[in-house]
Amino acid sequence: MAAAALAMVSGGPFQERTDSGRRYWVKQSLDLDHSLVERCLSGDEAAWEDLIRTHTRRVYGLCYRFTGKDSESQELTQEVFLRVYRTLRTFRATEGAFTTWLARLTRNLLIDNYRRTRQERLTDSIEEQLPRIEESVSAESRPEGMVAGREASEVLQAGLQKLSPELREAVILRDLQDMEYREIAEILRIPEGTVKSRLNRGRAELARVLRRQKVLV
Amino acid sequence: MTCAELEILICDYVDGTLGPDARTTVEQHLAGCRNCAELARDAAAAVAFMERAADVEPPPELMTRLLFHAPWVNAKSAASGVKHWFRKVLHPILQPRFAMGMAMTILSFAMLARWVAPARQLRPSDLAPAQVWAGLEDRVYRGWQRTVKFYESLKVVYQIQSKLRDWQQQQEEETKPAAETQKSGRRTDTHRLPVKGTEEQKSH
């Protein structure tokens, strides 16, 4: 069993992440972000537009993967950029990348929103839960391991909602936002070891959820 | 190596970022530990599934909303008073839903008008400047006359005008008799109709 698992891990479908290429890309985007922030602070409207165009995808992705609701994610994305506008002066380029700062701001807003809407989620009517139930039923009827693309994205979304917020945010930041462990540790303000531990548990829990839905062999 | 120590390394192992020595150590542990092997297998499976899933694309309307309702845009419009006021007034009218409704209404009325009272075909002579000007002048004159007529036939206007006339008349009466009595030394009632022979009878 352990040997079989080992074979799956070492010869599995995922590939090694190329660090040298990523490092070059990160440096380029770092310089770009810093100059953008400086232009924004000097009152350049075009720079604000560029900032929004560059980072909306990342912010919305984070919000959507965390909340699982499109309208809520759109509102939260707007709220994030409003906060960026108000608090950009507090960003220090020497203390880290802009993307890390932005992700931390988004994450804090998401956690605030999660706490605020906890009661609403508890009192969710059965009608609202019905589509999710139907979705999971239809997922069960699919052939195993055939899910990909948009369909996989939806199944993954449903699976992520079943994780606790701590595990969910670690998985989203690492596997869907492609962030470094160091950056995630900065965003969540926890040690890197804790990030890795949460990530392992999050990934394993997600795999179990997906297996129950028969989309994972 | 304990399971707790290995847990930290499993992430890097699954990501494929471990060095050769560390990788061998992890693989040796996984070969002998069922729980850790299961954890590594599940983690790898979840990562592989997430790589198959499509990226989340923000809806295009979100980008539009972010750019149009951005705080710096609002701050700028607040600074230019008249522009801001106009935008505020026109905002409900310029909503896409409302504009679409208006367009559909106009289209319906146009189709209805065409069906009920078909318009006369436009001829090239209709577009001559003199013709256009004459038509325009005629319309303006008629419109003006109609407006004046309408205004004069308003009950309120009529009442105000008659009241003003009365006041004017009253004022004239008050000033005129005073001047006349000063001249003739006696008062005359202008409201009374002159009766023939009255003055002669009194003198006799």
3-state secondary structure chain A: CHHHHHHHHHCCCCCCCCHHHHHHHHHHHHHHHHHHHHHHHCCCHHHHHHHHHHHHHHHHHHHHHHHCCHHHHHHHHHHHHHHHHHHHHHCCHHHCCHHHHHHHHHHHHHHHHHHHCHHHHHCCCHHHHHHHHHHHHHHHCCCCCCCCHHHHHHHHHHHHCCCCHHHHHHHHHHHHCCCCHHHHHHHHCCCHHHHHHHHHHHHHHHHHHHHHCCCCC
Residue range of the domain that includes A203: 129-217
In a domain, A1, yes or no: no
Composition of chain B by helix, strand, coil, percent to 5: 75, 0, 20
Give pLDDT < 70 ranges for chain A.
1-31, 121-148, 217
Is B79 part of any domain? no
Any domain includes A3: no
Count up the domains in chain A and report the number. Answer: 2
Q: Which of A3, A61, A86 sits opposite B55 (nearest CB)?
A: A61
The residue range of the domain holding B173 is 128-181
| A112 shares its domain with A61 | yes
Domain-embedded: residue B162: yes
Looking at the fold, whether A113 and A144 belong to one and the same domain comes out as no
Residue-level pLDDT at A13:
39
What pLDDT shows up at residue A127? 46
B80: three-class secondary structure by DSSP: coil
Q: Please tell me the predicted confidence (pLDDT) of residue A125.
A: 46
| ipTM value greater than 0.85 | no
* Closest in B42, B48, B65 to A204, CB measured: B42
Q: What is the pLDDT of residue B75?
A: 60
Stretches in chain B below the pLDDT threshold 50: 198-200, 202-204
Does A192 map to a domain?
A: yes
End-of-domain residue from the set A97, A121, A145: A121
Instruction: Give the per-residue pLDDT at A78.
Output: 92
Residues of A in contact with B50 (CB under 8 A): 156, 171, 175-176
Of A84, A102, A121, at which residue does a domain stop?
A121
pTM here is 0.57
On whether both A139 and A217 belong to a single domain, the answer is yes
Domain tally, chain B: 2
Contact at CB, B48 and A12, closer than 8 angstroms: yes
Measure CA B92 to chain center: 4
Chain B residue numbers with beta carbons less than 8 Å from the beta carbon of A106 are: none
Phi, psi of A179 (to 5 degrees): -95, 155
Distance from CA of A139 to the nearest CA of B (A): 15
Instruction: Give the per-residue pLDDT at B19.
Output: 86
CB distance A37 to A101 below 8 Å:
no
